Structure 1
Amino acid sequence: MLELQGAIWFRAGTQDWGGRDRIALLAAIGEHGSITAAARAVGLSYKAAWDAIDAMNNSAGEPLVSRAAGGKGGGGTRLTERAERLIRTYRAMETEHARFVAYLDKLGGALSEANPDDIHLMRRLMIQTSARNKLFGRVAAVRGGAVNDEVTLTLAGGQQVVATITHESVETLGLAPGAEAFALVKASSVLIGLPDPGMRLSARNQLPGMVARVVPGAVNAEIVLDLDGGGTVAAIITNGSLADLGLKEGTRALAIFKAPSVILGTMA
């Protein structure tokens, strides 16, 4: 049975201010007057809480949270008038949104016949990023480190993408074996190479495929590679490299990119 759920996010142009979790953080700051206590109340680390606050302040273009200087009674943190108004607005909108979702749920009928896989695909299609390459898969392994963790993502076609991200990001995104996630890689971060058994590279990601499309430009060319097993990866290379490698449709090639060039994301 299809279960309807939803969440509200504030946006200003192309900038996300935040959603339920960040509003909860703001509300906790207003209640406790302390970042430490607020972070504990919503289940965040002190650093993650301040990172979220900095992101909200930057997106709003004005402070939503201000830090009071320490004194005899110690310093504290308080919400600005804009933040308090934002919380009230969000809660009012959330109430109306809950009524709307309840109304849709009552419709039953056509919605109950909707294929959950189609709904899931719609969520994927709505993800918008500036990265040219967006690869979906499931976490195969997470190897912890002192600061950064190595996350291996298995794509639908069976190939694997390795990403190096902070341990804090792994925890925040809930990345664990079996979790669904997606990898973002800019086309400018992807190198193209020709298969060579003797070639050794330090880049962790070397995905084999076949050139599906070549789009030449004045200086650079876009190469789109059909990966073995499914999916595509696009790369931007110079016209000189295009000529040197002899790339054309049907040429076997490798999409090569480093693990730190991969950004991981999840769908909330």
Structure 2
Amino acid sequence: MTEGKHAIELDGNLWFTKAETRFLGADRIALLKSIDELGSINKAAKAQGISYKTAWQLVNTINNLADRPLVERTAGGKDGGGTVLTPSGRTMLEQYDIIEEEHRKFLENLEDRLADSGKLYKFLNRVSMNISARNILSGTITHITREAVNAEVTLSLKGNIPLTAIVTNSAIDKLKLEVGGKAIAIIKSSYVIVGKEIDVQKVSTRNVLNGTIARIIEGPVNSEVDIAVGDGNIITAIITHESSRNLGLKEGDPACAMFKASSVIIGIT
């Protein structure tokens, strides 16, 4: 823009967001491309310079927020299976590349039109909220039941999996929640209880999501358990290593993720 060693150039990062949460950006797109090329989460993580655990966390977040899973695991074969992109995942890569190209052209055009580089100091970037909770699930509101102070909100996740949250009436009004609208359910992994062969009629917890154990990472104190429920939804729980051992948890076994309705935070898309 202006000549000299202190010249300022316009730059920017492209992100897709949902419920003020970063969904897809250049780093996650790069991870998806590596998975598509290498057919393995482990190999893709190494290619991107991140840990295997971080790669899985990113994939779970992407799949949970996407309308349809973008990544899926494959079983069998001489190599024992792997990880591949779904047709929706490949379509997303193509669409992102198109948008990224248009975004680059936009920045170049804007840079040409800004005569005074000092104006860039007042050029504000949108700030996205970072959420530390591991479980971020997208769904459609199917029921809202108001009481005196609180309200019960039911979401239908992918695969028609119901999830219930308890929020205040003021939150309903502030977020303008209504039946048929899109929303995000946020649950901390420490709030999730893992069970096997649970009789839902004998537990008080409102949310009992049945599924299959997709992955277990054992630690010296705690274990991280991913449970696949419905069509591409992953619920992550952090439980003690002793609990994991006592339950005899194994990948591929049926299990359920349980959490209170009051432990669910609702956001809007």
Q: TM-score, normalised by structure 1?
A: 0.52
Which residue of structure 1 lines up, in the alignment, with residue 210 of structure 2? 208
User: CA offsets, 1:191-223, max 9 Å, x none?
Assistant: 000123476111000001100110011111000
Which residue of structure 1 lines up, in the alignment, with residue 262 of structure 2? 260
1:198–1:178 Cα change, 3 Å: closer
**In structure 1, distance between residues paired with 2:184 and 2:262:** 15
Which residue of structure 2 lines up, in the alignment, with residue 172 of structure 1? 174
Q: Which runs of 5+ in 1 are unaligned?
A: 1-100, 108-125
User: CA offsets, 1:29-57, max 9 Å, x none?
Assistant: xxxxxxxxxxxxxxxxxxxxxxxxxxxxx
Counterpart mapping for 1:236-251 below 5 A? 236-251=238-253
Which residue of structure 1 lines up, in the alignment, with residue 135 of structure 2? 133
Structure of higher CA gyration radius = 1
**In structure 2, distance between residues paired with 1:178 and 1:263:** 18
Q: Cα distance, 1:174 vs. partner?
A: 1.1
Q: Secondary structure at the match of 1:164?
A: strand
1:265–1:199 Cα change, 3 Å: same
Counterpart mapping for 1:1-268 below 5 A? 128-197=130-199, 200-267=202-269
Q: Cα distance, 1:162 vs. partner?
A: 0.3
Q: Which runs of 5+ in 2 are unaligned?
A: 1-102, 110-127
**In structure 2, distance between residues paired with 1:167 and 1:179:** 16
Q: Secondary structure at the match of 1:249?
A: coil
* Matched residue count: 147
Instruction: Using the aligned pairs only, state the percent identity.
Output: 40
User: CA offsets, 1:211-247, max 9 Å, x none?
Assistant: 0110011111000011133210000001111011110
User: CA offsets, 1:126-173, max 9 Å, x none?
Assistant: 773111000000100000010000000100221011000000001111
**In structure 1, distance between residues paired with 2:204 and 2:140:** 24
**In structure 2, distance between residues paired with 1:138 and 1:245:** 33
Structure 1: which 4+ aligned runs deviate by more than 4 Å? Answer: none
1:127–1:180 Cα change, 3 Å: farther
Q: CA RMSD in A?
A: 2.2
**In structure 2, distance between residues paired with 1:196 and 1:222:** 20
